[in-house]
Amino acid sequence: MNALPLHHDLYLIAHDQSGRPLIHLSSMSLGLAGAVLLDLALGGRVAVAEGQAAATRRAPTGDAIADGLVSSLLRHRGGRQLRYLVKKTADGIHDRTREALLGSGVLVQVSGRRLGVLPYTRYEPADIASVVRASAGARSAVEGWKQPDARCAALCGLVAVLRLDAELYLDQPSARLVGRLREIARDSSPVVGEVVTVVDALVGEAAVAVYR
């Protein structure tokens, strides 16, 4: 059983075995933020509709990022625009997620020197099984082995938006695979479709930003 929050799974899928990010950090951060929001929405803590999000109840999840987001939403009774929330949550989320994964022992810090001179620090998975588990649901959903639940559909949508389809190691042409992943997300629930669409738009806008 996969007990990790959605953004932890996405983090593992979006890095290679040596801990190197597979996509640009600005895109990944937006995806991770979308994952946090989706986890909260699917868990009934946040209501999402028509581009807006509002907290419905304060019930700690144990994840600092998610709990911070709920607290922030509770301070704004009128709710917040989804785009705003995803952007705001994306700020610093990559490092915070990595720290959380380090804290839970899913990642381990590896330090060394390249050519015996240049120091480096990597954050590698302690056990490759955690990475396999992270993407197992999405793989099963695409192959039709198992009916995807909303959480799995959300991960499928984010994997498609972030073009991490190759990390599912499925023998399918990329375009078809991405199309299928998007379809799974779209058919799942309006909330998943809405958040994934917002992340998709923000990833595009980040790519044409004047300054990063």
Partner 1 sequence: MRASENIEQFGYRQELRRGVGLTDLVSYGLAFMVPIAPFAIFGLVYSRSGGMPVLAYLVGMIALLFTAASYAQMVKAFPLSGSVYNYAGRGIAPPVGFMTGWMVLLDYILVPCLLYLVASLAMHDIVPDVPVWAWLIVFVAVNTGINLRGIRMTVRLTRMMIGFELLVLGLFLLVGVWALLQGKGHGFSLSPLFNLETFSWPVMFAAVSVAVLSFIGFDGISMLVEESTGGSAQVGRAMRVALVLAGLLFVTQVWVASLLVPDPNGLLSQDSGTAFYDAAAVAGGEWLRNVTLTATALSWGVANTMVAQVAVSRLLYAMARDRQLPSFLAKVSVRHSVPANAIVLVSLVSVGIGLWMSGRSDGVDLLTSLINMGAMAAFVVLHVSVIVHYALRLGSDRLWSHLVAPLIGMGILVFVVINANVLAQMVGLVWLGAGVVALAVLYAMGRRPTLDGMPAEAVRR
Q: Where do contacts with partner 1 occur on this chain (CB under 8 A)?
A: 22-24, 26-27, 80-81, 83-84, 87, 91, 161-163, 201, 203-204, 206-212
Q: Cβ closer to partner 1: 1 or 209?
A: 209
Can you tell me the distance from the alpha carbon of 33 to that of 7, in angstroms, rounded to the nearest whole number?
7
Quote the least distance from Cβ 104 to partner 1, whole Å.
Answer: 27
Residues 6+ apart with CB under 8 A from 155: 6, 9, 10, 35, 137, 138
Q: Cβ closer to partner 1: 42 or 203?
A: 203
Q: Cβ closer to partner 1: 87 or 186?
A: 87
Quote the least distance from Cβ 157 to partner 1, whole Å.
Answer: 14
Q: Cβ closer to partner 1: 162 or 196?
A: 162
Can you tell me the distance from the alpha carbon of 102 to that of 44, in angstroms, rounded to the nearest whole number?
27
Can you tell me the distance from the alpha carbon of 32 to that of 132, in angstroms, rounded to the nearest whole number?
18
Looking at residue 47, its amino acid is: A
Q: Which two tokens stand for residue 44?
A: 């009934």
Residues 188/158, Cβ–Cβ less than 8 Å: no
Quote the least distance from Cβ 196 to partner 1, whole Å.
Answer: 14
Quote the least distance from Cβ 81 to partner 1, whole Å.
Answer: 5
